[in-house]
Every structure is written in structure tokens, then in C-alpha cells.
Amino acid sequence: MSEPMLKVSGLNAFYGRAHILFDVGLEVGRGEVVALMGRNGAGKSTTMKAVMGLLPRRQGEVNFRGQNIAALPPYRIARMGMGFVPEDRRVFADLTVMENLDTGRQPPREGAPQWTPEKLFRLFPNLGEMPQRPGGQMSGGEQQMLTVSRTLMGNPYLVLLDEPSEGVAPVIVEQMANMILELKREGLSILLSEQNLHFAELVSDRAYVLEKGQIRFSGTIGELAQNETVRRAYLSV
Ligand SMILES: Nc1ncnc2c1ncn2[C@@H]1O[C@H](COP(=O)(O)OP(=O)(O)OP(=O)(O)O)[C@@H](O)[C@H]1O
Ligand SMILES: [Mg+2]
């Protein structure tokens, strides 16, 4: 039980011939919320895709709940209980909220919080008011809530959340922060990518800062908030 939820080491990733990630290492403990920070193009999304097995070329070690998943395809990783909410947050436009949720359904997992549409609607009351609305007729923020909810329907142990606060209205950002804190209370482990230090401070225990595909800082979120040098060099604050 003492092994971390996720342990990545020596992770290198490539798009074609372009070398994007350089020996990235990070850990997410059980029940921890960890922020992966850095400016546009730093490599946050690439790190998540590499962990999830979505890149054709990657090297390094990826351990999930003590198992080496580095050679597994994405669907196997998802079935082991790793959820991924990509930054493009695609919902099925012609399916209703309920039908979108159904597409994410997976069996319950021992030791992972268990989700139903009813429980998710308590977390996201907006969604509960529109169970029959087609995904294509929802606002960006509502779609964001739906993609998170659909991922939770898989009853994951760990969720990779790619920039949950990006491009959504302030009121939705606040709901996103509350949602993450609620998920943490449920015992979920979360790795979120984020550019916004304020948002990360609201929800995270620890942070890593990426620049040009390398980890430049790792520490508690409080240590990052206090470290002006790192903030100025690698974040937009
Ligand atoms: N499909 C791709 N093909 C080639 N290069 C890519 C591709 N996707 C991303 N890159 C490059 O990889 C680097 C890291 O990109 P990545 O999307 O991981 O950054 P990010 O930190 O998620 O940025 P953002 O905050 O803008 O989402 C960038 O230099 C980017 O141009
Ligand atoms: Mg990104």
C-alpha cells in the first residue's frame, strides 16, 4: 500500500523526430492532488499523453499502482483505472448528457470512489438540470463538466486532468476547484496540468514545474507560491 499511485521516471517523448520530454520524473501519492505547471508549450499535455500511452514514441518507466504500464496501449491503461480528461474536452455532440455519461461507464473498482449519474449531478448541479440536452448544445464550461463526469463514470483511481480551468468562465473555474476538492475528499488521486498558480494553489498539495520538456522545480504548492525566482522564470506570474 505504500507505493505511490503513479511514479514516472526517465520519461522521454517524441513527436516524429522532435524530442519533446527529457527525463521527466514525477510522483502522485494516493489521495494526492498534484499540479503539473508550466507555460504554453512546456510539455504538460505531452506528459499526460505519454503516461496514458497515447504517444507513438516514448521511453522511460511509468508505474501505476505498482505495475509497469510503459508498454501498454491506452485502452488497457484506462481499464486499470486511470482516467484522462484531455484539453480539447470532446463530448459526443449528438448524444445527450446521460448518453455521454453512459459511454464512460466501467465496473466499480475496489478502493476507488464509485460514481453514478446521480452522484455526479450533486457535484455538478448544472448537468443535473439538463440530463437530456445534446452535448453539442452545451456551453464550453458545461462540456468541460461533462467530460470530467464521463471520465469519473469509469470509477478511476487516478485522473489526469489537462488544464481544467482553461478557457472557462470564472464561475465555472470556481466550480472546477470545488469539484477537485470534493474528488480529493472522496479519495481520488489527481494529476492536473495548469498554468494558473492561483487555481493550483486552491486545490493542489504539490507541484512540478516544466519548461522545455524538463522538470525545473518540484515541491509543495506553498513552496512554489513563495519561490519568486521559479515563478518568474517558468510561470506567467
Ligand atoms: N502533435 C504534435 N506534433 C509536433 N509537436 C507537437 C505536437 N503537440 C505538441 N507539440 C510540441 O510539443 C511541445 C510541448 O507541447 P504540449 O502540448 O505538451 O505543451 P503544453 O505544456 O501542454 O502547452 P499548453 O499549455 O499550450 O497546452 C511544444 O513545443 C509543442 O509545439
Ligand atoms: Mg497542453
Substitution candidate for ligand 1 out of 11, 20, 88, 214 with most atoms within 8 A of CB: 20
Is residue 227 within 8 Å of 237, Cβ to Cβ?
no
For 44-69, how does the pLDDT look when each residue is reduced to its tens digit (9 = 90+)? Answer: 999 999 999 999 888 999 999 999 99
Q: Taking the model in full, what pTM does it have?
A: 0.95
DSSP three-state, residue 35: strand
Grid cell in block for residue 151: 471520465
Grid cell in block for residue 122: 450533486
Q: How many helices (H) and strands (E) does the chain have?
A: 10, 10
pLDDT at 181: 95
Give, as one character, the DSSP assignment of residue 66. T
For 110-152, how does the pLDDT look when each residue is reduced to its tens digit (9 = 90+)? Answer: 999 999 999 999 988 889 999 999 999 998 888 989 999 999 9
Residues in the chain, pLDDT under 50: none
Domains of the chain: 6-234 (3.40.50.300)
CB 167 less than 6 A from any atom of ligand 1: no
**CA dihedral of residues 160, 185, 102, 106 (deg, nearest 10):** 70
Is residue 220 within 8 Å of 207, Cβ to Cβ?
yes
